[in-house]
Chain A
Amino acid sequence: MKKTLLALAIVSIALVSFSGTAYADKRSNTGCGLGHLIFKDSGESLVIQVLAATTNTSFGTQTFGITTGTSECDQFGKVAQNENLNRFVSGNMENLAKDIAMGKGETLDTVVEMMNVPASQKTAVYAKLQANFGAIYTSDKVQAGEVVDRISAVING
């Protein structure tokens, strides 16, 4: 009997080491600054990984309908003209910052296309944005709405 109990204990330890509790991280809305989405979406335990094989669901990555963005931040200081642009930027904060710093990249291409920057001016605009990186990302707490406004200010300035 003792042996059986010991065995059960060991098996359960072995099983638990291969599972873990999945949790969908329902964070309160901490705004939509850099890193917000990463920290909202990630953190999958091994068991979740294993099951991604059969369900193709990743935890915490909620699926939304057509008209819903993932930004959770529709409260921009300034009502922007282009809701899609704001949604795109808030969903791509890290990639956009990196592209602006490098002076090129697909995320940046998308933003200037959505802002209707003519192809002939792209090179100049990229250089300008790169030079003004510090003015766009004044701190690491910057919000998506501010980024959009400052990018337009730099382009139109």
Chain B
Amino acid sequence: MNKISFPFFILCALLAVPLHASADDAYREELLQKARALNLHNERYWDILLHYQPRGGGRKSLVDDPNFFLSPQGKANPRAEMEADIAMFFFPAPAGTDPLRCEYIARYEWLKERLAIDETRLPGGACAAFDEFVKEADPQSAVLVFPAAHINGPASMFGHTLIRVDGRRESRLVSYAITYAATEVDTNGFLYAAKGLFGFYPGRYTILPYYEKIREYNDIGQRDIWEYNLNLTRPEVLRMLRHAWELRDRYADYYFFDENCSYVLLFLLESARPAAHLTDRFPVSALPIDTVRWARREGMVTSLVYRPSLATKILRTEAAFTGDDVRLVKDIAEGKISPEEGLRKPLPKETLAGIADTAADLANYMAAKREITEDEFTKRFIDTLRVRTTLGPAADNTAAAPPPPDEGHESARLGIGFGARGGARFAEFRWRPANHDLLDPDEGYLPGAHIDFLGATLRAYDGGREERLRLETMDFVNITSLSPFNRFFRPTSWKVNFGLAQGTFADGSEGMTFRLNPGGGLAAQWGNALSYAMVETEIRYGEGYEDRYTLGMGGGVGVLWPVTARYKIHLRGRALDFWVGDKHKAYEAALEQRLTLGGNAALKLFLNYAKVYGVDRNEALLALDVYF
């Protein structure tokens, strides 16, 4: 159905209604009476199909696309929408087109069942386009798909979810995937940034072949994919497909924390199985992995499939290769040696096969990263594969899959602790809505990644201070990505910290400051300890500074060492020379320790030494963290 002509089509159909025979009028009235008598517009399934949520005493749909509703009041009036929908069933269908009710197939089928509608008394015939789609999709079972974070992009750490509908075919690649994502984005980086964060983009539902999504996440985005098989039955999957059909190409304003890609997909799962309560939990936020956990708790998840990304596949071969093997893989991929020559080395055949496979993957990866041109890539790739055909099977070096992301700690964290700072005692409350920092247990998360949105620390000081209660920090966004060097890749580690933080001024007083602190550097892995070094700049704005601001440059180093599965240490130091604005020097050293107590609790001991404007300050904090 052409999107542009669609509202116009409804208008034509509405104009045609009064010309219709009175028998239709009588039957329509009968159905409307029946719906009122049954109080159908207050049933939960109606809320699911129209995405209604309680809002200020009434109910309002999360969908913003006017074409999703037939009543002008449809977005906020479930009853008006239902009656408009029933009236729509009687719109005549021009010859050769499907009746309009086919576009709203999920509500039509449900109302048909609940009102025992006699389809022969409605104008128009079968839904040819939808039936064709069902034949093509062959809905038998469904899968909740979770593309995880990018290996060096903790910002993608929240991941994403989509739903795949599988048929009887053995291949899963040609199954259909239903996804919801922000669309129509700007091409200017800054506009994209601002609007993307604050939800100015419409999110749109799309249905497309799964292999396109694998390509997007696995091969190009370098994100591992986890597939959670669901125990939805055939009729349930068909119901879900009807709802997806109704939603396709419709949009809803995209809000990062609640109405995001994952939360709205829960309506699809509920449309399949209304007994599952997923959208009426009203969480603080719905991160993609949370939605996976809820589906698991509702008993929907049966088994799990892991699809490593191209980069992960390359890295997983590293352990089995000698230094010379790795060099050879890189030389072939980088075009320093022809595959014919490189793969003639006197090595076991299965080793050569593995080298050829990884070299082809590495060339593919370099192409995706635009490190080589299209022509360079295709030539090296095909030349390598041509030799590869003569080498037989490669040695099997499949490493075990990492722990699945839904088994990681919960996203939100609350910390309560006590400490002393320069002789004053304090109680501390730290709240973090999402989702992981360097000291948290890494199972199911990216090691070396820290991402914090809107985390805040509040302290109540005891004695010796004018301020009894104060906000210590408020992070708008705080991201650190430590990606260690390995024999294949040399990733850059980076950080960006933007928010409010207490600052020390020249006279020794303290006050709230705005802080922007970006940095970049390198990380290396020795055993299981991760070391890093970064160059950073920091700008602070605060009333207590001369000229109200100060800007400096400097660096930081640190070691992150998981001593045991439950005990982790982070030792770090920073030195900054503020040479513009209010000139001064700042030094900081910290020893942070964390002990996991049980599934959802941990004990932390932080020792911190700082020297700003030549004034020393020691701080110690003992805190209990709870994840939920």
User: Chain A: residues with CB nearer than 8 A to chain B?
Assistant: 3-4, 6-7, 10-11, 14, 17-24, 33-39, 41-59, 61, 63-66, 69-70, 84, 87-88, 91-92, 94-95, 97-98, 100-103, 106-107, 109-110, 113-114, 130-131, 133-134, 137, 139-141
Within the complex, the shortest CB–CB distance from B375 to chain A, in Å, comes to: 7
B382 CB contact (under 8 Å) in A19, A57, A107, A137? A137
B374 CB contact (under 8 Å) in A24, A36, A63? A36
Among B22-30, B54-62, B69-77, B206-214, the stretch that binds chain A is B206-214
A51 CB contact (under 8 Å) in B155, B169, B212, B364? B155
Contact A52 B367, beta carbon cutoff 8 Å: no
Contact A42 B389, beta carbon cutoff 8 Å: no
Provide the residues of chain A in CB contact with B377, threshold 8 Å: 34-35, 38
Contact A65 B249, beta carbon cutoff 8 Å: yes
List B366-396 residues whose CB lies under 8 Å from chain A.
Answer: 367-370, 374-375, 377-379, 381-383, 385-386, 388-389, 393-394
A101 CB contact (under 8 Å) in B187, B209, B389? B389
Contact A35 B374, beta carbon cutoff 8 Å: yes
Provide the residues of chain A in CB contact with B520, threshold 8 Å: 17
Within the complex, the shortest CB–CB distance from B152 to chain A, in Å, comes to: 8
Bound: A52/B368 CA distance, A:
17
Within the complex, the shortest CB–CB distance from B73 to chain A, in Å, comes to: 29
A42 CB contact (under 8 Å) in B186, B220, B479? B220
Given known A-B contacts A38-B220, A137-B386, A88 and B394 have beta carbons under 8 A apart: no
Contact A11 B171, beta carbon cutoff 8 Å: no
Say if the beta carbon of B539 comes within 8 Å of chain A: yes
Besides A17-B520, A35-B378, 4 other A-B contacts (C-beta < 8 A): A22-B192, A57-B183, A65-B249, A109-B170
Contact A38 B394, beta carbon cutoff 8 Å: no
Of A53, A57, A106, the most chain B CB neighbours within 10 A belong to: A53
Given known A-B contacts A55-B254, A102-B394, A38 and B539 have beta carbons under 8 A apart: no
Contact A88 B174, beta carbon cutoff 8 Å: yes
| In the complex, residue of chain B having the shortest beta-carbon distance to the beta carbon of A22 | B189
Which 5 A-B pairs rank lowest in CB-CB distance, beginning with the nearest?
Answer: A55-B182, A101-B385, A140-B378, A110-B171, A53-B155
Contact B386 A21, beta carbon cutoff 8 Å: no
Contact A140 B382, beta carbon cutoff 8 Å: yes
Say if the beta carbon of B261 comes within 8 Å of chain A: yes
Within the complex, the shortest CB–CB distance from B211 to chain A, in Å, comes to: 6
Contact B379 A140, beta carbon cutoff 8 Å: yes
B368 CB contact (under 8 Å) in A10, A38, A69, A131? A38
Contact B193 A65, beta carbon cutoff 8 Å: no
Provide the residues of chain B in CB contact with A19, threshold 8 Å: 189-190, 193
Say if the beta carbon of B547 comes within 8 Å of chain A: yes
Within the complex, the shortest CB–CB distance from A21 to chain B, in Å, comes to: 5
Within the complex, the shortest CB–CB distance from A138 to chain B, in Å, comes to: 9
Say if the beta carbon of B158 comes within 8 Å of chain A: yes
| In the complex, residue of chain A having the shortest beta-carbon distance to the beta carbon of B194 | A51
Provide the residues of chain A in CB contact with B360, threshold 8 Å: 98, 101
Bound: A21/B388 CA distance, A:
39
Provide the residues of chain B in CB contact with A113, threshold 8 Å: 169-171
A66 CB contact (under 8 Å) in B133, B157, B381, B386? B133
Bound: A50/B296 CA distance, A:
28
List B189-222 residues whose CB lies under 8 Å from chain A.
Answer: 189-190, 192-193, 196-197, 201, 204, 206-209, 211-212, 215-216, 219-221
Given known A-B contacts A11-B539, A133-B386, A140-B378, A49 and B150 have beta carbons under 8 A apart: yes
B547 CB contact (under 8 Å) in A4, A10, A59, A133? A4
Interface residues on B, range: 35 or more
Contact A53 B156, beta carbon cutoff 8 Å: yes
Contact A35 B170, beta carbon cutoff 8 Å: no
Contact A18 B211, beta carbon cutoff 8 Å: no
B381 CB contact (under 8 Å) in A36, A52, A94, A141? A94
Provide the residues of chain A in CB contact with B379, threshold 8 Å: 140
A7 CB contact (under 8 Å) in B249, B386, B518, B581? B581
Contact A39 B367, beta carbon cutoff 8 Å: yes
Provide the residues of chain A in CB contact with B196, threshold 8 Å: 51, 54-55, 57
Given known A-B contacts A38-B219, A137-B386, A49 and B188 have beta carbons under 8 A apart: no
Contact A133 B389, beta carbon cutoff 8 Å: yes
A52 CB contact (under 8 Å) in B153, B188, B547? B153
| In the complex, residue of chain A having the shortest beta-carbon distance to the beta carbon of B206 | A63
Bound: A124/B388 CA distance, A:
18
Say if the beta carbon of B173 comes within 8 Å of chain A: yes
A55 CB contact (under 8 Å) in B201, B220, B580? B201
B173 CB contact (under 8 Å) in A3, A61, A106? A106
Contact A55 B518, beta carbon cutoff 8 Å: no
Contact B197 A48, beta carbon cutoff 8 Å: no
Within the complex, the shortest CB–CB distance from A58 to chain B, in Å, comes to: 6
Given known A-B contacts A21-B189, A42-B369, A109-B171, A7 and B580 have beta carbons under 8 A apart: yes
Of B157, B212, B216, B370, the most chain A CB neighbours within 10 A belong to: B212
| In the complex, residue of chain A having the shortest beta-carbon distance to the beta carbon of B156 | A52
Provide the residues of chain B in CB contact with A94, threshold 8 Å: 219, 364, 381
Say if the beta carbon of B46 comes within 8 Å of chain A: no
Say if the beta carbon of B534 comes within 8 Å of chain A: no
| In the complex, residue of chain B having the shortest beta-carbon distance to the beta carbon of A129 | B389
Bound: A101/B580 CA distance, A:
60
Provide the residues of chain B in CB contact with A130, threshold 8 Å: 389
Given known A-B contacts A10-B551, A52-B156, A92-B211, A24 and B381 have beta carbons under 8 A apart: no
Contact A56 B189, beta carbon cutoff 8 Å: no
Given known A-B contacts A3-B581, A91-B212, A50 and B155 have beta carbons under 8 A apart: yes
| In the complex, residue of chain B having the shortest beta-carbon distance to the beta carbon of A138 | B382
Provide the residues of chain A in CB contact with B169, threshold 8 Å: 113
| In the complex, residue of chain B having the shortest beta-carbon distance to the beta carbon of A37 | B215
Contact A63 B183, beta carbon cutoff 8 Å: yes
Provide the residues of chain B in CB contact with A39, threshold 8 Å: 367, 370, 374
Provide the residues of chain A in CB contact with B172, threshold 8 Å: 106
Within the complex, the shortest CB–CB distance from A119 to chain B, in Å, comes to: 9
Given known A-B contacts A64-B206, A137-B386, A141-B378, A21 and B188 have beta carbons under 8 A apart: yes
Contact A103 B393, beta carbon cutoff 8 Å: yes
Bound: A87/B185 CA distance, A:
26
Bound: A57/B383 CA distance, A:
34
Provide the residues of chain B in CB contact with A101, threshold 8 Å: 360, 385-386, 388-389
Bound: A6/B79 CA distance, A:
62
